[in-house]
Structures are given as structure tokens and as C-alpha cells.
Structure 1
């Protein structure tokens, strides 16, 4: 009993330590960084570890460890319950174990080992489960990693024993090993599923096929990874990135369903759909100019979803910034906003915004540094659009073009995903300027619902300056003019008829005061989408 009491006191000591979200996140980042730097110093790894790709490689390695942390965090929350903060602190304390395997393996094998994943045929995969990852101690799941896993399982079993008793501790220990085995053999599992889908069986595939699927040269659209570890890391990290976001939203659902739903209902779907649509248009343009780079497989699909999730999270971050900066306006004109309804306090809402920002940059970095730079650029532009001291949204017309340009960053992201070496080679700038003018004409529509609040807070939108009726006439005219200008910007006379027809409909829709802002946004974006279809047909496929 004294032994149990000592363990209990130790756990309680850890659970009582103060922790903040940023402190927790920085701690995880630091531990993984320490692990990476240790490997560089210990093994004298090639320059690829310390050149410009370091941050991308670090992000990819971080995705593995962070996903592992999240999986066991959710697992312990499920089996133990209670205050999730206490579990997070205990798990963070044990997270330091990840730094030791390279040192242990170096001492035992003197550098003659290769630590990554368990590659096996289906039969060997089943057999190795009962052999604690199999007989090869210096390849795949090495001795150092196995020792780390063993200590982790024992530690979690003791933790569960203290909280829930011996029976749950034994069950939890077995489940923990099963989870570790799934994570450690993840490439094998993915290959088995692909083989099952393609061949209808898993019994005939071999270890070599796992290697061929994961460590051969990776060509994902216009991206190329020649070295085996770069290809392996990239293929797995885009899957991990998507899974991390899903698991975080699952956790938020069980932690506070009401707040998650508040965030979801606050997304501003027309703008979100536009952002993703612009990204897909960028991919379409890239596919037209570089058809040889278009390839769809499991990893390319996850790459696309990784970037879409990044765009989604970057947009959520911009919504949070806008809500905080427009709180006084929203009290008058948008009482359904989460901050106005006091579903979040201000500090808590800021933390959500910071989280969305970090995750958006992280997911983009998994795909490439250029994508993370574009996401950072988007976040910077949307911040100065809403926040003081610049608060660009106060200045009509300038604000519209500023906001439109920020969203068109996603057009660049889609294009460089497909283009050779992620460049702007052959980029159709005429299409870009047409979209810039069109979207800048559409953006002021959102300001109709905020007239009272904007006027009181000296945000000089067109509806505030001219009144709703004249502003509708002005915005409708700008929109119609943008359709006509697109014919000359793109230099395609066949576009005149659809521009006249769709532009006229848009003009009358905007000037019909029965159409509220949300409905008007959807209708105008729908018409713009149809017009983009005509552009693609006449410019690229006619």
C-alpha cells in the first residue's frame, strides 16, 4: 500500500502543476524539437536535416508525435474520465520519454540501426503482435523504441490502476499496447487496406510492397521527394495532419459540444465556400497548364484535404479576429455571434483563434514551406483588415480590394500545388485580375446588415456613406461593370452574352431589398460560379 500511496502522491503532484494552453503547446513543440536536434547531433545526419527543409521535416515528425499524444490523451480520457487537464499534464510529463530511444539504440548498436516503422506481410504483422514487434531489434521498431513503449504501457497501467483499479489497469495496458502496435505499423496497415481494396485480399501482400508504397520516390502533383525518408515522412504526415484536426474536433465535441456548435454556426459559409472554391479553381488552372502533374491516389487526396483544412482553419482564425474587433458592432447588428451571446469569454476566444492560426500554418507546412508562407500572409492580411491600428475595413473600396486579394491567396495555393516545383510558371494573371475585380464588387454586400453598428463605430462602408438604397444601386452597378470588364480583361468576346445576362441578374438581385445579406451572398456567388464555368469553357476548352 505504501508503494501505491507514493505513486498516488507523485501523480497528484503532477496534476496540481499550473498549466496554460500555450505552455502545454510550447512544451510539446520543445520536446519534439529536442528529439530532432538530438538525432542531428548524435548521428551527424546529412545537410537535408538542417537546410531550408528543416522546418518542414520537423513539422512532419511533429505530426507523428502529436498525433500519438492526442490518441493516448483521448484514450485515457475515455478510460479514466474526470478533469482532462490533469490527464494532459500527466501525459505531458511522460512525453519526455520520446527523447531517449536514439541514445539507447546508439549505445547498443553503435549506429548500425534504422528506426522508423514496422513493415511486414499480413501473416508477419499478426505474428509480430505477439512477439512485441518481432525479432528485429535494430530495424523498424528498434530496441530503444520498444523500451520506450514498454515503459509507457507500464506507466499508463499504473496511472489507470490508481484512478480506476486493477481490472481496468490490465485492460488499459493491453489496449495501450494495441494502440502502440497500430501506430508503429501504420504504413503496413495502410498498405493492407489499399491491397484489400484493389485485390480483395490481404493474405498475399508482402513486406516489400509496403516499402514500395511508402519509401519510393514521392510525386504528389507538382511536388517531388526523391529521398526515401522525405517521401515516407510526407506521405504519412499529410494523413496525420488530417487525423489530428479530426481528433481535435472530436475532443472539442465531447469537451464542450455547445461551444463547438457555436463555432460551426459562426463560420460565414458563403465566404468559406468561396475560399475553398478559389483554391480548387487554382488547382484547375494548374491542371490545365501542367496536366502531366495531375495524379490522384491516397496521398494526393490527403494532401488536398490537408490544404483545405488549413484554409478552413485560417478562415476560422480570421472570423475570431473579426468578432473580437467588431464586438461593439455585433452587439447592435449580430446578436447571434458567440461573443455577444457570451458563450466564450474574450481570453478563451483568443485562445481558440491562436489555436486555429497555429493549426492552419502547421497543416500548410506539412505540404511545403511555400504553402505555409501563403497561409501566414493570408492571416496577416485578414488581421490588419479587422484590427487596429490599421483596420483597413474602415475605408470603402480599398477594403474590398484588400479583402479580395487576401482570399485570392488561396488561388495561388491551388495553382502552385500542381505547377512544376511550386512556381508561378504560366500563371494566368488575367484570370486573377478578373477574379479580383469581381470579388471586390461582391464583398460590400455583407455590409448591409451592419449599417447601424458600422455607423456608430465609424466604419465607413458604402451602405453607411450612401444609405442602403443608393449603396445597393452602386454595388449592383459595380458588379455589373465587373462582368463587362472581365470580357476585356480576359480578351474573349464570347463572354459578352453570359456577362450581360448574369451581370444583369446580379444587378437586379442586389437592388431587390427583399433579399437579405446571407441569401444575397449565396445567390451572387452562385451566379459568379456559373460565369467562371463559361470562362473555363471559352478560354481553356473551346
Structure 2
């Protein structure tokens, strides 16, 4: 009878009408409450406030997202249901500082991540794992009694959740072991990161500056876990989203970032080894999230246009709802900003600008994509901002004020992508016209617009070659690419393939000019 009541209680939690906002705010409230309590039990709480404002929230978000995946896959529960149960019982994270206060260790306890020393043999962390943290109970520093009690609670409650959910004893035990393992791996993140970096630097894969800190590592895992969470929650919708994802746009902004870095390191590729590869990866990951969010926003306001143009995007196929697309956009924008913050404050500012322009391009009231030339000017400005982001990133290693970014490249980027960017509108005039979006194909008609846009693209090759100061032979190569692109613009139903040709040309000229 008691089991039946507990099972009904669990079902009520799983079926609660808690939305994305309520769950997120609840979890963050618990995390910051934990941080507040630690002020009275953790001797490092006041000494490192940034840890509690940034590192801990990212750590907990990654761990909770990972745990929800573990529970969903091992116990065969819907990911949303498992997440609701997990966040409902998130108050368990308040146990360590409370228990440690009750224990009353004089002077407090210094909470630390386990085993950071590179010289520590791999067998030591394994012993800690197998003994359930017991040989790290070294007061007043290390894994505290409260943390051990918390770990016990998580393992036991995970097992009970599996049993009450009729997942079977074997699956319940597996869920408990995997949950404990996930928490333990996050507890030894510094050790794992240092070991990995030591190995990569020994192979001369990383530069001496490429060091990931704890929050950056957790951010990478958080990004992966959120993607897997979404895929588990809406498998068909996320697959449709990936199929319709504008890879050419992501590649475009990646090359703009690389171009900015190239200018920042003085145009010498050998200098790239002096940069922090880890932070560069975070910039790329941040750009990926920014583009995912931009695509989600664009799809929300282009449902009718996409339907008319025959684009089978997830909102048209109804494998995702507009509300789910909005959640994807919010999460993606948040992760993009977080990635920028973990690189530097200037990077955070640039990501704010990138997201702002991406939003006003697609969303009302401005919805700048409706106006010919102005819409591509926004794309050109975004391209310039991303290039400046790459240039600013190198400032830490090759000092130079951002005002030193060559004016000829500023003018070139704005000119090239304002005129050549119109290629994105080819083949979409039916939907654009119906939605009141006045692109060149809508204003001039399909064939006239193709001739004009093809000419713009051809001119952009020559302009780019001249601005980069390439040799006269590259003018001939640029002319060849220009002719091929012009013909493709006239013949192909869409202009996407011409983007890839432009990237090939861009890479070749930067490598061999």
C-alpha cells in the first residue's frame, strides 16, 4: 500500500504541468541557495565569489542535464518526466552545507574538486570511486561528510525511482551506478582535463596557452547534454531541424571568424600556434549556438513562406511547435552568450551584437529581411562583427587595438556581402512575395534578378582578390570562379552551392596567396 502511494506521488510529479521556465528557475533557485549556505560551511566561499556566480551554476546545469539523460535512457522514462522528478528532488543538493554545519567542523570545510595533481597515478581516482569518496574524507579539506551523505541519497533515491517506476531491479541498479559515476566524473574534472592536456601537449597538438578551466569544460558538456536532451525529447523534430539547418551560413560565419583571426595574427598562419585553442573552440561553439538560435527565430516567423516555397522544415511539418522553437532559440542564445563570457568580456559583447542583429533580421517589429539590400546589409554587418570578434580574440596574444582592423577589409566585407548576399533569395520569391518580403527576385522578377545577382557575385570575387593583395595569377583564378558562379546562379534552382564555391576560393587564397 505504501509503495502504491509513493508510485502515485511519483506519477503526479511526472505529469505535473511544469514548463521549461518553471523548471529552469527552480533549479537555479536551488543552486544559488546551495551557494548561499556554503558561505557558512565552505572556507573558500567568500574568497572566490566568481566560482559561485559562474562555475557552480554551469557545473550543476551540466550535471542535472546529464542525470536526466541517464534516468531517461536507463529507466526508459520520458526525458521530460525524468527531468521533473530530478528537479523536484533537487533540494538534496542543499544537504552538504547543512550537514557540515551540524557536524560543526571548527573553521569550516574547504570544498575542493578531487585529485588535481598531474603526478597522481590513475589508480588513485579509481580507488576514490570504488570507496565512494571515503578515502578523501580529510577534514578540514576535501570531500566533506555532507557531500558523502548527498551522494548516498542520490544513489538510493535513484534506485527507488526505478523500482517505483516499474523499471526493474537491474535497470534501477544500473541507473544508480551511472548516476554516481556521472557525478564522480564531474567531481574529478580538473584531474581529467590536466591529464588530457598533458597528453596533447606531449604530442604537440596543443599550444602552451590551451588550458581549459572547470567552467569551460562543464560548458562543453552542457552543450552536448542539452543537444542530446532535445534529441531525446523531440527526436523527429530535432532531426528535421538538423536536415533543414543552414550549414552554408554557419560555414560563412566560421570563415569570417577565421579571417579575423588571420588578420589579428599578422597574416602568418604559423602564429596560430600561439593562440589558445580551447578558447577558439569555445568561440566556434558559441557561433554554432548563435546560428541555431537564429535559425529557430527565422523559422518561427517564416512558417507560411516556407510552406509556399515547399521547404519541409520542422514547423511546417509540425514535428516542432512554435513554442518549442522559441525554447530552442532561448536556450541557444543563452549558450552563445555563455560561450562568449567564458572566452572574455569583449567576446561576450560581440555575441550580444551578433544575437541582436540576428533577431531583428528575422523577427518583428523590424524584420529587416523584408527590405531588399537592407536585409543583405544586415548580413554584411554580421559578417564584419564576427570578423572583428576573431580579430579581438587574438589581442590577448598579439596586442593591438580593435581600431587597427584595416579599413579596406571593413569596406570590402560590407560591400561584398551586401551585393553578393542577395543570392540567398533565389528560388524563394513565391513565399517572400506572399509574406510581403521585398527581395530582388520579388522586385525584378526571377530572371532579371538572377542576372543582377550573378553579376554581383562575380564582382565580389575580383574585389576580394584585390583587397587581399593576391598576385596577378589570382585575378585569373578569381575570374574563372566568377564565371562559373555566374552560370550556376542562372541555372540552379537555389544559390546554396555557390556559397560552397566561395568558401573553397576563400580558403585557397588565404593559404596560397
Q: Out of 503, 521, 526, which is 2:501 matched to?
A: 526
| Equivalent-residue separation in structure 1 for 2:196 and 2:237 (angstroms) | 36
- Cα deviation for residue 489 of structure 1 reads 5.4
- Cα deviation for residue 26 of structure 1 reads 2.1
Cα gap change, 1:45 to 1:502, in 2 (>3 Å): same
- Kept in 1, the 8 Å contact 2:465–2:478? The answer is no
Q: Out of 160, 163, 169, which is 2:162 matched to?
A: 160
- Cα deviation for residue 295 of structure 1 reads 4.8
Aligned to 2:184: 181
CA-to-aligned-CA distance 1:133-177 (integer Å, 9 cap, x gap) = 114243232222112111221221222222234454444434433
Task: After superposing the two structures, state which structure 1 stretch, 388-397 or 185-194, moved more.
Answer: 185-194
Superposition pairs of residues 487-526 of structure 1, within 5 angstroms: 492=469, 494-495=470-471, 498-499=474-475, 501-503=477-479, 505-507=481-483, 509-512=485-488, 515-516=491-492, 518=494, 520-526=495-501
Cα gap change, 1:433 to 1:535, in 2 (>3 Å): farther
| Equivalent-residue separation in structure 1 for 2:300 and 2:183 (angstroms) | 42
Q: Out of 76, 91, 96, which is 2:71 matched to?
A: 76
- Kept in 2, the 8 Å contact 1:115–1:139? The answer is yes
- Kept in 2, the 8 Å contact 1:338–1:344? The answer is yes
Where 1:239 maps in the other structure, the secondary structure is helix
- Cα deviation for residue 483 of structure 1 reads 4.4
Task: After superposing the two structures, state which structure 1 stretch, 278-287 or 436-445, moved more.
Answer: 278-287
| Equivalent-residue separation in structure 2 for 1:159 and 1:408 (angstroms) | 52
Q: Out of 443, 447, 457, which is 2:435 matched to?
A: 457
Cα gap change, 1:198 to 1:458, in 2 (>3 Å): closer
- Kept in 1, the 8 Å contact 2:156–2:176? The answer is yes
- Cα deviation for residue 65 of structure 1 reads 0.9
- Cα deviation for residue 485 of structure 1 reads 4.5
Aligned to 2:333: 357
Q: Out of 346, 354, 360, which is 1:384 matched to?
A: 360
| Equivalent-residue separation in structure 2 for 1:437 and 1:379 (angstroms) | 22
Where 1:121 maps in the other structure, the secondary structure is coil
Superposition pairs of residues 20-419 of structure 1, within 5 angstroms: 20-39=19-38, 45=45, 49=49, 54=50, 58-106=53-101, 108-119=104-115, 120-133=120-133, 134=135, 135-163=137-165, 164-193=167-196, 220=209, 235-288=213-266, 294-295=272-273, 300-419=276-395
CA-to-aligned-CA distance 1:346-394 (integer Å, 9 cap, x gap) = 2222222222222222333233333233222212111111222212122
Cα gap change, 1:488 to 1:177, in 2 (>3 Å): closer
Where 1:343 maps in the other structure, the secondary structure is coil
- Kept in 1, the 8 Å contact 2:458–2:479? The answer is yes
Where 2:426 maps in the other structure, the secondary structure is helix
- Cα deviation for residue 196 of structure 1 reads 6.5
- Cα deviation for residue 417 of structure 1 reads 2.3
Aligned to 1:19: 18
- Cα deviation for residue 44 of structure 1 reads 8.5
| Equivalent-residue separation in structure 1 for 2:272 and 2:46 (angstroms) | 31
Where 2:491 maps in the other structure, the secondary structure is coil
| Equivalent-residue separation in structure 1 for 2:500 and 2:177 (angstroms) | 53
Task: After superposing the two structures, state which structure 1 stretch, 500-509 or 408-417, moved more.
Answer: 500-509
Cα gap change, 1:30 to 1:408, in 2 (>3 Å): farther
- Cα deviation for residue 287 of structure 1 reads 2.9
| Equivalent-residue separation in structure 2 for 1:282 and 1:239 (angstroms) | 25
Cα gap change, 1:397 to 1:454, in 2 (>3 Å): same
- Kept in 1, the 8 Å contact 2:44–2:111? The answer is no
- Cα deviation for residue 470 of structure 1 reads 2.2
- Kept in 1, the 8 Å contact 2:68–2:83? The answer is yes
Stretches of structure 2 that go unaligned for 5 or more consecutive residues are: none
| Equivalent-residue separation in structure 2 for 1:294 and 1:439 (angstroms) | 26
Stretches of structure 1 that go unaligned for 5 or more consecutive residues are: 201-217, 222-230
- Cα deviation for residue 452 of structure 1 reads 1.9
| Superposed CA RMSD | 3.4
| Equivalent-residue separation in structure 2 for 1:114 and 1:341 (angstroms) | 54
- Kept in 2, the 8 Å contact 1:498–1:531? The answer is no
- Kept in 2, the 8 Å contact 1:339–1:346? The answer is yes
TM-score under structure 2 normalisation? 0.85
Paired residues in the alignment total 499
Aligned to 1:213: none
Task: After superposing the two structures, state which structure 1 stretch, 247-256 or 69-78, moved more.
Answer: 247-256
